[in-house]
Amino acid sequence: MRIAMGVEYDGSGFAGWQWQPGRRTVQEELEKALGRVADEPVRIVCAGRTDAGVHATAQVLHFDTGAARRPYSWVMGSNSRLPPDVRVLWATPVPDDFHARASAIARHYRYVILNRGMASALRRRQLTTVHLPLAVAPMREAAAHLLGEHDFSSFRAQGCQSRSPNRYLHFIHVEREGDRMHIDICANAFLHHMVRNIAGVLIDVGTGRQPADWARQVLEARDRAAGGVTAPPDGLYFAGIHYPAAFGLPRHPIFDHLPADARRYSPAECRENSISLPSNSG
């Protein structure tokens, strides 16, 4: 039986998602808990691996098991054995052709900024503080240069192992709510550090250090050295995955902003080396 799960976690206490010898990881904690519920070893596959300090509100994983458990039992049994900074939100049986990573059509990240003179005492590891005032309008103008399919070499980490730097960015929404600012980014897939590097560029534009057109110049350079600083991991959240409706999995309403044509492509066509999709105004 193949089971899909939705998971959230506070990444501040982890060395990242993936197993690392001698270091605390989200994958290790989940596999230990699920193994105890299943009474057998469990190996999980996630929709997208996150780095140290990065959080998730809607991570999705799958695993195969011979154990027969109700969805409620998977959720409650796992949570009773997990540390308080990891929680399973839902579980459901899925067909054998479901794959948490390869079946995904689009992924959504949210970058959260506290824009005020003083850092937060309560959420210092859950958001990034920018002390200088941020202007929303130039950040939105800069973000518009990144929409569509591009070579995002300027926004990938030097150690990124992806075979192709091409990605299709469906939309970037920059919104302010009081002293908080949210940058929501949706793409078919992401390169290593791509969201944090985009956030770094938009922050420099928002503070006035760079003009809005600088985002286009960085993109066209196709060289990481042309980009700005990598924004800290604290404000980054893996916030949603969009799957074909046939799988019947929970869906974040932000994916309503996807172009209609983007939702019609098969998972195989929207994997790492995506085909071109219709442009989106964002």
> Catalytic positions, please?
51
**Rounded Cα gap, residues 30 and 24, in angstroms:** 11
Pairing of strands 55-64, 236-242: parallel
Q: Which tokens go with 117? A: 């003179």
Categorise residue 129: left if φ over 0, alpha if ψ from -120 to 50, beta otherwise. beta
> Which one-letter DSSP state was computed for residue 5?
E
**Rounded Cα gap, residues 186 and 257, in angstroms:** 9
Categorise residue 200: left if φ over 0, alpha if ψ from -120 to 50, beta otherwise. alpha
**Rounded Cα gap, residues 3 and 19, in angstroms:** 20
Angle at Cα 76 formed by Cα 72 and Cα 81, nearest 5°?
Answer: 150
Rg from Cα positions in the chain:
19
**Rounded Cα gap, residues 187 and 259, in angstroms:** 12
Give the sign of the dihedral formed by CA 89, CA 95, CA 99, CA 102.
negative
